[in-house]
Structures are given as structure tokens and as C-alpha cells.
Chain A
Amino acid sequence: MIAGISIYDILTLTSILFFIGVYGFFTRENLITVLMSVELILNASAVNFVLINTYLYPDLLQGAVFSIFIIALAAAETALAIAIIINLYKLIYSVEVKDTETMKY
């Protein structure tokens, strides 16, 4: 644990990070930037897992393991989403959210 920092400070920080991600998810109109907001949200939750593990159950490791799984899933999700975005750009020459109307052609 971090000396002089309570768990409330850290959870406040990660909550702010999470909702900045939510704000970006609502306002962005480009698929890549939407994906970046999702990364922010995932990161905030991964930090929460690790820090709650450190503060509440320092002799267990479950939080760290879940965090590793979240990072692996985020990497997989990003790779797949970017493949889809590049394919979409090949199909309709645009990656704006408003132009992606049909998923199947």
C-alpha cells in the first residue's frame, strides 16, 4: 500500500478516469477514438482490482490475476476491433460512427 494515501483517494482517482472514458465514449464520433475511450475504462477497472487487492487482502493474489486477465482481454479486443475498423475503411472509406449503418452486406 502507498504510505499516506487512503483507499478512498485511489478509488476517487480511478472513478474519475472511468467517467472520463465514459464521456469520451459518448462524445467521440470516430471509431478509433471510441476504442481509445474503452481502453481508458478498462484500465480504470484493472487498477481498481489491483489496488483493492493491495489494501484489503494483501496476502492474496486474486486481484493481480484478474488484472492480468483484463489486460490480455483488452489486447485481444483491441486487435480484433482494429481489424474490423480497417476492414470497414476498405469497404466504405470512412470510420465515422454515423457512416457505419449496416454490419452485413
Chain B
Amino acid sequence: METIIFYILAAIIILFAVASVTSRKILRAVIYLLFVLIGIAGLYFLVDYNFLAAIQLTVYGGGIIVLFIFAVLLIHHVELELEKTALKKKLIAGALSAAGLAVTLWAISTYPFPVTDTYTSIEVADIGLLLLSYEDGGFILPFEVISVLLVAVMIGAIVIAKGKKLTENN
């Protein structure tokens, strides 16, 4: 059962990822990206990381996609079609990506991963305790740094997006 669900999710993720990078209607590309992100949340549910799946759905599906849609609506006409990419560029990019994929898959398939058979379920409380622990291997410092970073980004985004129009200067 889980095997079938995994393959369905994999098919959804890959199909919509391809659609997302090739679609010429920009709003549709954003919605395809949303489907990819939801498929990845399904993958997290499949390995029992419910907290991460919830984060994926709220932050990506709820936050980032809405940001993208706002940006698209602010900048483009909804029906606008993107310029066609030149075939030569597509071929070069495709060849480079395929070569990179081949090297990566070769490296993965030849590396003997020491897979364990034990299974422990993940509690949200464990993640929270690890994030706030200041003992050996605790993550309190990165956690605080991320908080400061988020504040800095918020202020920076406000300041940058306010910007001046070029016509006022010259």
C-alpha cells in the first residue's frame, strides 16, 4: 500500500515539477509548483514526520505560494504568456541537467548506505526540546540566529519594496 502511494506521489511531484518549469503561463506555473510542494508534504506524511508536513503545508503552500501569486498579479497581466526560450538554450540546459543527474545517480547507486531497520516515531516535543537545548548538540544558537535573520529580512523586505521610482531622480 505504502509503495503504491509513494509511486503515485513521485509521479505527481515529477510531472508537476516539469510542468512548472516549462509552462508558459506564469500563474499556472505557480499553481503547478503548489502541487509539487503538496506532494512533498505527502512524502513527509509517509515517513511519519507530521510536524514537518504541517510546516511544509503552512509555510510553503500557505505563505510562499501566496507571495508568488501576489508578485505575479502585481507585475504581470494574468493571461500574459512568457517568451519562448530558444531551442538551443533548452538543449544545452537539458544536456547539462541530464549530465548532472547521471553523475549524481551513479554516485548514489554506487555508495553503500548503511540502512538500519529500526524504527522510532518522531514526537513534536522531541524536536522542540532539541531546538531549545543548550547542551552538547543542541540547536539553541542556530534557532536564535534564525530569529534574528527573520527580523532582519522582514525589515529589509519592507525597506526594499518601498523604494523610489526612477522617474523621481532624473
- A residues with a Cβ closer than 8 A to B are 1-9, 11-13, 15-24, 26-30, 32-33, 35-37, 39-40, 43, 47, 50-51, 54-59, 61-62, 64-65, 67-69, 71-76, 78-80, 82-87, 89-92, 95-96, 105
Contact = CB atoms under 8 A, between A and B. Distances in A.
Contacts of A28: 21, 82, 85
Interface residues of B, number: 84
Contact of B118 (A36, A37, A59, A62): A59
B108 A68 contact: no
Contact of A27 (B52, B67, B89, B130): B89
A33 B59 CA distance: 19
A74 B64 contact: yes
A89 B20 contact: no
A12, A18, A27 interface centre (most CB from chain B within 10 Å):
A27
Nearest to B113: A7
Contacts of A33: 21, 26, 29, 82
A36 B46 CA distance: 25
B64 A75 contact: yes
A12 to B, nearest CB: 6
B160 A84 contact: yes
A15 B104 CA distance: 7
A41 B168 CA distance: 39
Nearest to B162: A87
A16 B14 contact: yes
A13 B11 CA distance: 9
A26 to B, nearest CB: 3
A24 B30 CA distance: 13
23 contacts: A4-B3, A5-B6, A12-B105, A26-B93, A27-B93, A36-B68, A39-B37, A51-B47, A56-B113, A56-B116, A58-B116, A58-B118, A64-B51, A68-B131, A71-B55, A72-B59, A72-B150, A73-B149, A82-B70, A82-B71, A85-B71, A87-B161, A105-B166
B68 A32 contact: yes
A4 B119 CA distance: 14
Given A55-B113, A64-B122, A29 B83 contact: yes
Contact of B108 (A8, A35, A83): A8
